Structure 1
Amino acid sequence: LLFAGILMHINATGSIALEAISPSNSASAWLMLIGIGLNTAMPPLHAWISDAYPKATVTGAVFMSALTTKSAIYLLIRLYPGWEALIWMGAIMAIYGSIYALIVDDIREILAFSIISQLGYMVVAIGIGTEMALNGAATHAFSHILYKSLLFMAAGAVIQSTGRHRLSELGGLAGKLRWVMLLYFVGGASIAGAPLFNGFISKSMIISAAGEAHQEWIVLILLGASVGSFLHTGLKLPYFTWIAPPGGRHASHGHSSEPIDAGRIPRNMTIAMILAAGLCVGTGVYPWILYDQLPYANHYNPFTVYHLVETTQILVLAFAGFYLIKDRLAEWPGITLDVDWFYRKPGHWFGVRLVRVVAEIFSWLSDGLEYIAGALSEGFRNPLAWLHGKEYRAYRFGPAMGTAMGTVLFVSLILGIYLLFR
Structure 2
Amino acid sequence: MASAATIDAPATPLDAFRTEVRDWIAGNFPQTLKGKDRGLSAVEGPVEETPEETRWREALGGKGWTVPTWPKDYGGGGLGRAEARVVQEELARAGATNPVAGTMGVMMFGPTLLEYGSEAQKREHIPAIAMGTVRWCQGYSEPGAGSDLASLQTFAEDAGDHYVVNGQKTWTSGGQWADKCFMIVRTDKSKKHEGITFLLCDMDAPGVETRPIRLISGASPFCETFFTDVRVPKTNRVGEEGQGWTIGKRLLQHERNSLSGGGSTAGRMFSGPPLSEIAKKTVGVDGEGRIADSELRTRIIRHDMDARAFMLTLRRAQMEAKSNQGPSAATSIMKNVGARIMQERSELLIEIRGLAGLGWEGEGFSEDELAQVRMWLFGKAVSIYGGSTEIQNNVIAKRILGMLDHQ
TM-score (norm 1): 0.26
More strand by share: 2
TM-score (norm 2): 0.27
Higher relative CO (Cα under 8 Å, sequence separation at least 6) belongs to 1
